[in-house]
Amino acid sequence: MAAIHVRGLEKHYGSVRAVDGIDLDIAHGEVFALLGPNGAGKSTTVEILEGFRSRDAGEVRVLGVDPARPTREWRSRIGIVPQHSADAAELTVRELVRHFARYYPRARDPDEVIARVGLSECAGRRIRTLSGGQRRRVDVALGVIGSPEVLFLDEPTTGFDPEARRRFWELIRDLARDGVTILLTTHYLEEAEALADRVAVIAHGRIAALGDPATLGGRASAKARVSWDGGSVETDTPTKTVCELAERFGGEVPGLTVTRPTLEEVYLRLIAPSPSPTGPSEVR
């Protein structure tokens, strides 16, 4: 049984089909990234899986339980880092994390969690005195304090500096090595590429592509771009092209680079609006 199983998921708001027939299976211990622009349906999908939003159609199971009928025991097995944090302005970081630890039967050590999210020096400070990035780290600490089997991370590193983001990545890798299933939404494509076993791109409420980051959307088989000082070419045979250039230049090729489409380029192509069947309309 998959840790997360979704078939035919739909959510409508009047005539707007925010989620329009999504199918997903996420394995136990997998790190899965859900990418998409704002309004694509990814946050709605995640909220349904968390049990915080109802669905209009489809089958959903998280750890074998329908999130629409959650139990207290099931809640103790999942962790959530929401997009927007709750405010506990007058508590210190240590007080808040220790308070949340009491809710879980298998809570991690609060001071260890505080250290892992890079807040040891702020442990005695009140939440209201923290920066936006530091508050986001508190959210992450609250999400992992209960030793979850499934962890939902909705834009978890917003506001992190590069060092803190990479420290957080190590925490996610450690959790994955411990068998935690992680569903991540992020706008940082390098984050998805660094962490995810598989990636799904959602656009207009549907899955536009699904696969591992290296091959998503035909990325691995796309033409390579060979560039050098004075020219460039797209080719299916980059090695042959480089050999021909080396012969032409008598050895080293000045300014030589060989690249395939980046994850960002593939992502932007996948979320691009479909051309209108009646042609481009006049911009007013």
Supply the DSSP string of 51-98, one letter for each residue: TSS--SEEEEEETTB-TTS--HHHHTTEEEE-SSPPP-TTSBHHHHHH
pTM check: above 0.75: yes
If one compares 27 and 278, the residue with the highest pLDDT of the two is 27
Tokens of 132: 């936006």
Q: For residue 140, give the amino acid letter.
A: V
Taking a C-beta distance cutoff of 8 angstroms, is the pair 206, 221 a contact? no
Confidence check: pLDDT of 92 > 90: yes
**Rounded mean pLDDT of 253-263?**
83
The band of 243, judged by pLDDT with boundaries at 50, 70 and 90, is: very high
pLDDT digit string, tens, across residues 36-86: 888 888 889 999 999 999 999 999 999 999 999 999 999 999 999 887 766
User: Which architecture, in CATH terms, is 4-213?
Assistant: 3-Layer(aba) Sandwich (3.40)
Nearest Cα to Cα of residue 60 among 32, 19, 18 = 19
Q: Determine the pLDDT at residue 86.
A: 62
**CB under 8 Å to 10, separation ≥6 — which residues?**
17, 19, 20, 21, 22, 55, 56, 57, 58
Q: What residues does CATH 3.40.50.300 cover in the chain? A: 4-213
pLDDT digit string, tens, across residues 181-212: 999 998 888 899 899 999 999 988 999 889 88
Residue 53: DSSP 8-state: S
Query: Looking at 131-140, 142-151, 174-183, which range is the least confident one?
Result: 131-140
CA 204 to chain centroid: 17
pLDDT digit string, tens, across residues 24-37: 999 999 999 999 88
Confidence check: pLDDT of 277 > 50: no
Angstrom distance (rounded) from CA 109 to CA 123? 14
Residue 126: DSSP 8-state: B
Taking a C-beta distance cutoff of 8 angstroms, is the pair 24, 62 a contact? no
Collapsing DSSP states into helix, strand and coil, what is residue 200? strand
**Rounded mean pLDDT of 222-251?**
87
